[in-house]
């Protein structure tokens, strides 16, 4: 795990311009949503008042959405990159297990996303006057920690498709797209028609963002985010074994077809 972390850090640091643009992008994104919030100030749905307006609502969404992106795309993206660089076969010859590979390829990007999320919050609080004075950090940490296993599991399903079929991964295409629309990333999912609101509950991101908003903006305690905790826990328990099995099957198919190096 440490070897992957150091490797990813070294590669990330080697792209200095990208490092700089990452920070510029972060400020630009926050500013764009702040201005959007200002432009529609009079039209914001009343349910957002509990969060202090549209900007505090959306900044939590964009700050923490990266965890789902990393979980979902991290492993499959990394597998594909390793295939292109020709490093996948030497790596797999070290007999690294599918679970370790999934965790290892995500460790650095999860930490980077955490730093980005904290920077978003600091920027929001210091520059755009988001009120974080009542935030409940332990509740936020628990919600975030419990959202990682389902995100990782979805990434394993996606990685399994990459190994077995190379392209056309439905987890990435369908789930990734729908979750952005339905999970309350840019607007409250309660504004959607009732059937879509029910569907929204099938996405771990919905419960993660709702719990994080409650904990960080309203200071919700463990008991107040218990619904989200139970949803995330349940999703983790169901999806993680599925992800591990799928990844093993993906490896088995790639080994049988001799297609590890194909992309």
CB nearer to another protein: give 16 or 43.
16
Q: Which residues bind another protein (CB under 8 A)?
A: 2-4, 6-7, 10-11, 14-15, 85-87, 89-96, 255-258, 260
> In whole angstroms, how close is the CB of 77 to another protein at the nearest point?
15
Handedness of CA 159, 162, 163, 165 (dihedral sign): positive
CB nearer to another protein: give 95 or 133.
95
CB nearer to another protein: give 50 or 87.
87
> In whole angstroms, how close is the CB of 12 to another protein at the nearest point?
9
> In whole angstroms, how close is the CB of 70 to another protein at the nearest point?
20
> In whole angstroms, how close is the CB of 81 to another protein at the nearest point?
10
CB nearer to another protein: give 131 or 257.
257
CB nearer to another protein: give 4 or 55.
4
> In whole angstroms, how close is the CB of 21 to another protein at the nearest point?
17
């Amino acid at each position: 795990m440490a070897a992957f972390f150091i490797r990813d850090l070294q590669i990330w640091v080697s792209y200095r311009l990208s490092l700089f643009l990452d920070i510029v992008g972060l400020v630009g994104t926050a500013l764009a949503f702040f201005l959007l919030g200002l432009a529609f100030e009079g039209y914001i749905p009343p349910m957002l008042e509990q969060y202090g307006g549209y900007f505090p609502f959306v900044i939590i969404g964009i700050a923490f959405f990266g965890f789902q992106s990393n979980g979902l795309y991290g492993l499959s993206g990394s597998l594909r990159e390793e295939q292109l660089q020709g490093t996948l076969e030497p790596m797999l010859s070290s007999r690294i297990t599918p679970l370790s590979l999934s965790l290892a390829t995500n460790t650095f990007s999860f930490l980077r996303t955490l730093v980005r999320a904290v920077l978003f919050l600091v920027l929001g609080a210091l520059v755009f006057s988001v009120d974080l004075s009542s935030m409940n950090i332990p509740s936020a940490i628990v919600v975030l920690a419990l959202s990682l296993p389902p995100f990782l599991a979805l990434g394993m399903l996606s990685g399994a498709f990459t190994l077995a079929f190379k392209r056309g991964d439905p987890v990435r295409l369908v789930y990734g797209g729908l979750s952005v629309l339905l999970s309350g990333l840019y607007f409250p999912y309660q504004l959607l028609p009732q059937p879509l609101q029910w569907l929204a509950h099938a996405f771990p991101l919905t419960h993660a963002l709702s719990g994080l908003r409650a904990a960080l903006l309203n200071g919700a305690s463990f008991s107040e985010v218990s619904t989200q905790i139970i949803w995330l826990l349940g999703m983790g328990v169901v999806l993680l074994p599925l992800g591990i099995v799928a990844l093993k099957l993906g490896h088995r198919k790639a080994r049988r077809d001799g297609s590890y190096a194909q992309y």
